């Protein structure tokens, strides 16, 4: 299946801006194309846009949270699903960005602080990913080592943040807070002074829907571009891709860094959503969640990652209401089931069964 | 002078303690990794099973050494069952098998919590402590370092002097060829997984008296186990011993100077630096030396 992904692609666009746009969004590396898919996509988007008009603010806020998780899922999908880099530590970048956002936005007061915080936090997450990635990919370690090093980094961050309870652990006005976490993180706000709009409630929801839409479409263009083909080439056979003359270390480092940025953005939005972050984002249980989401949905497809993230998070919320303590057991069992029975995930299976579905 | 001597002794004991902890944390993981190339992400929970087995049978009235044997036995059986039912299906899908063991880990942590509650009552460290100057060190923790040497020695014997060891090394070197020569490689994998589980269980049993026994206790061992395996590389005995010595020294020095957390951090930073130069760890270094001569 994977071997066929780089066969003939017709990039010669038909007339019209719309078709030209469509041809860049479609290709062998994404599921869903053609008129029917985009009509359905627009309908779904419309549904998401009118959703706040019909539900209470509690549900809207909760749905926004489910969508925030999708950034984490997408970043893992890009790194693991498309490029074959086995990162168990995407949550590290998520958490680092969340904490950095908190530190900056608490210290730099006002709406400007939150925007600066967003930029700095995403940059720090990216830089951290770059640093870890440099040592791993240019050292040339095997896939298995990438997995355990990223997980070890995450666990060490967990111990680090856990022991920051004392007064001494503060950056300016921001207390790191140990296991109790960092509180009173301001919500994101756009604009200057009195004209600034604080992004909360419905505004937050629309902000997340908008950024997620842009991210999804942007990633579709990316994975169907030449770089996307190289990424998939690395996943399928790194040595062969290297022999074709591609600098695979550079591409892997680039993808890993970008994955860190994406996860970091998710972390900032998460910290802004709850006005709070704690060391459990670096815990081994939370680190497992993105793997479960993406593996369940279908790690080799962007749509699979988003749908997997949304569906699994939704179901596990329901489970923790009705199933209580069994919810983690069920999630673990789900992961086992998917790996043993359905290694490609649910979404590609479903897509194949739909009329006009992609047969690849 | 009088003040420096206890400090040095302190450093030495800390080194011995770290070495023991690193080797015992990693050895079960390293055996399975060296043999099958698989990292068992439920390794921490295997250790937990060993500790739970020990604590439960100790509280049921068994003497501590017997309770420890029960813990080891329980973990071994548990590992064999998992290999037979799940891991076996994932041979040849290296990375998938890691994800699967993570699923097992989640189920086990929460399963233990559901069955036994949020903690078991602790055992209490036996044997008291050694005194020197104004310092003291737990005798039992030092005994554990001795246990780690014993385990390494025993494994050396198993891998060099028994028929199983020879066949196991043949399987590592060339699976197809050893199968052609009559080794049942599937059985080798099963046995190796069993030994790895037994050693993880032993670690849990040995450390059970020194820790609070909670469902998530396995993750205490994970970072140390990971870094030791990465720095050591695929060769179980040489790699683990070498990594234990190097990392044990670094951990002891940094813990002594800047506290426990700095020691842990130093382990991670060392590991990340080591892989840049030696992607195959100490094993790779040895291969280079051997290949060069």
**Would an 8 Å CB–CB cutoff place A285 in contact with chain B?**
yes
Tokens of A15: 């007339």
Average pLDDT for residues B158-178, to the nearest whole number? 82
pLDDT at B2: 56
Residue A129 has pLDDT above 90, yes or no: yes
Q: What is the pLDDT of residues B60-116, one digit of tens each?
A: 888 888 989 999 999 999 999 998 888 888 877 778 888 889 889 989 988 888 888
Average pLDDT for residues B129-139, to the nearest whole number? 70
If you search the block for the tokens 């893992």, which residue do you land on?
Answer: A76
**Would an 8 Å CB–CB cutoff place A128 in contact with chain B?**
no
**Closest CA in chain A for residue B113:** A325
pTM of the model: 0.87
If you search the block for the tokens 């789900």, which residue do you land on?
Answer: A334
Range of weakest confidence among A133-137, A148-152, B126-130: B126-130
Residues 9-28 of B with CB under 8 A from A: none
pLDDT at A298: 86
In-domain check, residue B185:
yes
Tokens of A23: 């041809």
With bands split at pLDDT 50, 70 and 90, how would you rate the model's confidence at A5? very low
**Would an 8 Å CB–CB cutoff place B259 in contact with chain A?**
no
Query: Euclidean distance between the first and final Cα of chain A, in Å?
Result: 6
**Would an 8 Å CB–CB cutoff place B35 in contact with chain A?**
no
pLDDT at A99: 93
If you search the block for the tokens 């080591």, which residue do you land on?
Answer: B274
Best B228, B275, B285 member to test A by mutation, with max A CBs in 10 Å, is B275
Q: Three-state DSSP class for B237?
A: helix
In-domain check, residue B288:
no
B contacts of A324 (beta carbons < 8 Å):
none
pLDDT at A35: 79
Q: Is the Cβ pair B107, A288 closer than 8 Å?
A: no
What DSSP state is assigned to residue B211?
A: S
Residue A201 has pLDDT above 60, yes or no: yes
Range of weakest confidence among B67-81, B190-204, B245-259: B245-259
Residue A168 has pLDDT above 80, yes or no: no
Q: What is the pLDDT of residues A279-323, one digit of tens each?
A: 888 988 888 899 999 998 888 888 888 999 999 988 888 887 776
Rounded-to-integer distance, Cα B27 and Cα B46, Å: 12
**Would an 8 Å CB–CB cutoff place A331 in contact with chain B?**
yes
Residue B197 has pLDDT above 90, yes or no: yes
Q: Which range of residues forms the domain containing residue B137?
A: 4-215
Instruction: Give the residue among B22, B32, B46, B97 at the shortest CA–CA distance from B234.
Output: B32
CB atoms within 10 A of CB B131: 9
Average pLDDT for residues A338-349, to the nearest whole number? 83
Structural domain tally of chain B?
1
In-domain check, residue B201:
yes
Q: Three-state DSSP class for B132?
A: strand
Residue A355 has pLDDT above 80, yes or no: no
In-domain check, residue B158:
yes
If you search the block for the tokens 């503060």, which residue do you land on?
Answer: A170
Average pLDDT for residues B126-135, to the nearest whole number? 69
Distance from CA of B146 to the nearest CA of A (A): 27
Taking each helix axis as running N to C, give the angle between helix B236-258 and helix B219-232, from 0 to 180 degrees, rounded to the nearest 10.
120
Q: Three-state DSSP class for B119?
A: coil
Q: Three-state DSSP class for B131?
A: strand
Query: Euclidean distance between the first and final Cα of chain B, in Å?
Result: 46
Considering CB atoms only, which of B86, B94, B276 is closest to A139? B276
Residue B123 has pLDDT above 80, yes or no: no
Range of weakest confidence among A251-255, A296-300, B197-201: A296-300
Q: What is the pLDDT of residues A88-100, one digit of tens each?
A: 889 999 999 999 9
B contacts of A332 (beta carbons < 8 Å):
102-107, 110
Q: Is the Cβ pair B103, A336 closer than 8 Å?
A: yes
What's chain A look like in SS3?
CHHHHHCCCCCCCCCCHHHHHHHHHCCCCCCCCHHHHHHHHHHHHHHHHHHHHHCCHHHHHHHHHHHHHHHHHHHHHHHHHHCCCCCCCHHHHHHHHHHHHHHHHHHCCCHHHHHHHHHHHHHHHHHHHHHHHHHHHHHCCCHHHHHHHHHHHHHHHHHHHHCCCCCCCEECCEECCHHHCECCCCCCEECCHHHCEECCHHHHHHHHHHHHHHHHHHHHHHHCCHHHHHHHHHHHCHHHHHHCCCCHHHHHHHHHHHHHHHHHHHHHHHHHHHCCECHHHHCHHHHHHHHHHHHHHCCCCHHHHHHHHHHHHHHHHHHHHHCHHHHHHHHHHHHHHHHHHCCCCHHHHHHHHCCCCCCC
Tokens of A258: 């970008």
**Closest CA in chain A for residue B94:** A144
Distance from CA of B275 to the nearest CA of A (A): 6
User: Do A94 and A281 touch, CB atoms closer than 8 A?
Assistant: yes
Q: Is the Cβ pair A335, B261 closer than 8 Å?
A: no
Best A156, A166, A168 member to test B by mutation, with max B CBs in 10 Å, is A156
Residue A6 has pLDDT above 50, yes or no: no
Average pLDDT for residues A20-27, to the nearest whole number? 79
In-domain check, residue B261:
no
**Would an 8 Å CB–CB cutoff place A165 in contact with chain B?**
no
pLDDT at A194: 67
In-domain check, residue B233:
no
Query: CB within 8 A of B160, min separation 6: which ones?
Result: none
pLDDT at B110: 87
pLDDT at A13: 46
Domains of chain A and any CATH numbers: 30-353 (1.10.3470)
């Amino acid at each position: 299946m994977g071997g066929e992904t780089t066969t003939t692609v017709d990039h010669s666009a038909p007339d019209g801006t719309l078709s030209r746009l469509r041809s860049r969004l479609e290709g062998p590396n994404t599921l869903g194309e053609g008129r029917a898919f985009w009509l359905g996509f627009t309908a779904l988007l419309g549904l998401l846009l009118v959703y706040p008009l019909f539900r209470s603010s509690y549900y809207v806020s909760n749905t926004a949270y489910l969508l925030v998780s999708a950034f984490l899922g997408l970043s893992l999908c890009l790194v693991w699903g498309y490029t074959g880099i086995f990162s168990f530590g995407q949550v590290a970048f998520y958490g680092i960005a969340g904490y950095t956002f908190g530190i900056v936005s608490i210290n730099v007061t006002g709406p400007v602080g939150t925007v600066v915080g967003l930029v700095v936090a995403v940059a720090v997450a990216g830089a951290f990913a770059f640093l870890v990635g440099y040592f791993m990919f240019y050292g040339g370690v095997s896939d298995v080592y990438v997995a355990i090093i990223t997980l070890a980094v995450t666990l060490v961050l967990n111990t680090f943040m856990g022991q920051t309870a004392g007064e001494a652990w503060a950056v300016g006005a921001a207390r790191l807070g140990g296991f109790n976490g960092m509180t009173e993180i301001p919500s994101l706000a756009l604009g200057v002074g009195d004209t600034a709009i604080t992004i909360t409630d419905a505004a937050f929801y629309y902000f997340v829907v908008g950024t997620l839409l842009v991210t999804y479409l942007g990633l579709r263009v990316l994975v169907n571009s030449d770089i996307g083909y190289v990424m998939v080439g690395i996943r399928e056979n790194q040595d062969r891709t290297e022999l074709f003359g591609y600098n695979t270390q550079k591409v892997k480092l680039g993808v890993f860094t970008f994955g860190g940025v994406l996860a970091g953005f998710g972390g900032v939005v998460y910290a802004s959503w709850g006005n709070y972050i704690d060391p459990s984002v670096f815990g081994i249980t939370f680190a497992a969640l993105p793997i479960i989401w993406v593996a369940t949905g279908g790690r080799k497809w962007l749509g699979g990652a988003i749908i997997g993230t949304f569906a699994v998070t939704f179901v596990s919320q329901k489970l923790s209401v009705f199933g209580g303590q069994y919810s983690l057991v069920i999630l673990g069992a789900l992961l086992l089931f998917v790996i043993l029975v359905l290694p490609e995930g649910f979404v590609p299976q479903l897509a194949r069964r739909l009329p006009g579905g992609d047969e690849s | 002078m009088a003040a420096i001597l206890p400090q040095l002794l302190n450093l030495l004991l800390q080194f011995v303690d770290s070495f023991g902890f690193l080797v015992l944390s990693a050895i079960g993981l390293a055996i399975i990794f060296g043999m099958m190339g698989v990292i068992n992400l439920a390794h921490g929970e295997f250790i937990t099973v060993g500790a739970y087995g020990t604590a439960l049978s100790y509280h049921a009235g068994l003497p501590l050494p017997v309770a420890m044997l029960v813990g080891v036995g329980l973990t071994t059986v548990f590992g064999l069952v998992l290999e037979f039912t799940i891991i076996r299906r994932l041979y040849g899908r290296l990375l998938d098998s890691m994800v699967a063991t993570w699923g097992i880990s989640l189920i086990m942590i929460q399963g233990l919590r559901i069955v036994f509650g949020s903690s078991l009552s602790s055992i209490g460290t036996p044997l008291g402590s050694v005194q020197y100057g104004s310092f003291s060190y737990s005798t039992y923790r030092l005994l554990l370092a001795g246990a780690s040497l014993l385990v390494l020695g025993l494994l050396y014997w198993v891998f060099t002097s028994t028929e199983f060891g020879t066949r196991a090394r043949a399987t590592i070197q060339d699976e197809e060829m050893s199968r052609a020569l009559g080794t049942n490689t599937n059985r080798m994998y099963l046995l190796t997984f069993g030994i790895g589980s037994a050693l993880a269980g032993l670690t849990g049993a040995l450390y059970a008296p020194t820790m609070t026994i909670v469902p998530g206790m396995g993750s205490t061992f994970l970072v140390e186990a990971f870094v030791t395996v990465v720095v050591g590389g695929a060769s179980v005995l040489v790699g683990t011993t070498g990594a234990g010595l190097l990392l044990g020294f670094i951990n002891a020095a940094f813990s002594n100077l800047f506290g426990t957390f700095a020691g842990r951090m130093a382990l991670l930073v060392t590991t990340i630096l080591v892989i840049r130069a030696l992607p195959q760890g100490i094993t790779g270094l040895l291969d280079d030396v051997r290949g060069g001569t």
